[in-house]
Amino acid sequence: IAGITQAPTSQILAAGRRMTLRCTQDMRHNAMYWYRQDLGLGLRLIHYSNTAGTTGKGEVPDGYSVSRANTDDFPLTLASAVPSQTSVYFCASTQGNTGELFFGEGSRLTVL
Amino acid sequence: GQNIDQPTEMTATEGAIVQINCTYQTSGFNGLFWYQQHAGEAPTFLSYNVLDGLEEKGRFSSFLSRSKGYSYLLLKELQMKDSASYLCAVLDSNYQLIWGAGTKLIIKP
């Protein structure tokens, strides 16, 4: 693993199903983020974690949950997917409180 | 509320110069960032300004005026590979990034 890895890269999901997007980084960054990106809206923060063991809500947290059991992993869970959660999801990390983020390649999720 | 404005789309010619503007209104300011995002790919960091003035990095330069809440990204000697979206983002008082919607830059031969 080099950098930050997301899985799956693409998924089609039936509404009402539970889904976990995985994110792993090997840079020992303390802060990690989950964003969604929709056409014309830019990146919107879902949840973040400043350090292992802590998480916080971003701009659009409803319907999503996260955990940060260790430094490297930051999974995002949709408990019961809805069509409005169709989007491209990006995981990102950084060291300290900087704005220089390193992004994963993204997970394209379609909820039908 | 917090707001970042940038043009939705711009078109320029290969070999030319283009300036992408960004204006912002945020709760506090801890730096302004520009990212490049090619279609279907992740954003990648381009530049960072925290003090007023121009930061030059090869063909790309970024300018900041904190008093005006204004920045621009200047791309010189445009190449076809510069066709991408350019995202402006501000680090607010809580050290959270506030993102603009991005400017899609189309380069024509």
Pick the residue from chain B with its C-alpha nearest to A89: B42
Answer whether residue B75 shows pLDDT above 90.
yes
Q: How confident is the model at residue A28 (pLDDT cuts 50, 70, 90)?
A: very high
Q: How confident is the model at residue B25 (pLDDT cuts 50, 70, 90)?
A: very high
* Yes or no, beta carbons of B42 and A90 under 8 Å apart: yes
d(CA A21, CA A91): 9
Check CB contact of B14 with chain A, cutoff 8 Å: no
Pick the residue from chain B with its C-alpha nearest to A103: B42
Q: How confident is the model at residue B10 (pLDDT cuts 50, 70, 90)?
A: very high
C-alpha gyration radius of chain B? 13
Q: Calculate mean pLDDT across residues A53-73.
A: 96
pLDDT of residue A96: 78
Which chain B residues contact residue A99 at CB under 8 A?
30-31, 33, 48, 89, 91, 97
For A70-109, how does the pLDDT look when each residue is reduced to its tens digit (9 = 90+)? 999 999 999 999 999 999 999 999 987 778 999 999 999 9
pLDDT of residue A64: 98
For A11-23, how does the pLDDT look when each residue is reduced to its tens digit (9 = 90+)? 999 999 999 999 9
Check CB contact of B42 with chain A, cutoff 8 Å: yes
In a mutagenesis test of the A interface, which of B96, B98, B104 is the best target, namely the one with the most A β-carbons within 10 Å?
B96
CB contact at 8 A, B43 and B37 = yes
Mean pLDDT of the residues in chain A: 95
d(CA A83, CA A63): 12
Q: Calculate mean pLDDT across residues B81-93.
A: 96
pLDDT of residue B95: 86
Check CB contact of B94 with chain A, cutoff 8 Å: no
For B26-68, how does the pLDDT look when each residue is reduced to its tens digit (9 = 90+)? 989 999 999 999 999 999 999 999 999 999 999 999 999 999 9
| Residue percentage of chain B with pLDDT more than 70 | 100
Task: Give the ranges where chain B is alpha helix by DSSP (H).
Answer: none
C-beta neighbour count of B50 within 10 angstroms: 14
pLDDT of residue A60: 96
Report the run of H or E that residue A45 belongs to, with start and end.
strand A42-49
Q: Calculate mean pLDDT across residues A35-53.
A: 93
pLDDT of residue A41: 85
B11-B67-A96 Cα angle (round to 5): 85
Check CB contact of B96 with chain A, cutoff 8 Å: yes
The DSSP bridge pattern shows strands A56-57 and A4-7 to be unpaired
CB contact at 8 A, B10 and B29 = no
Answer whether residue A1 shows pLDDT above 70.
no
Mean pLDDT of the residues in chain B: 96
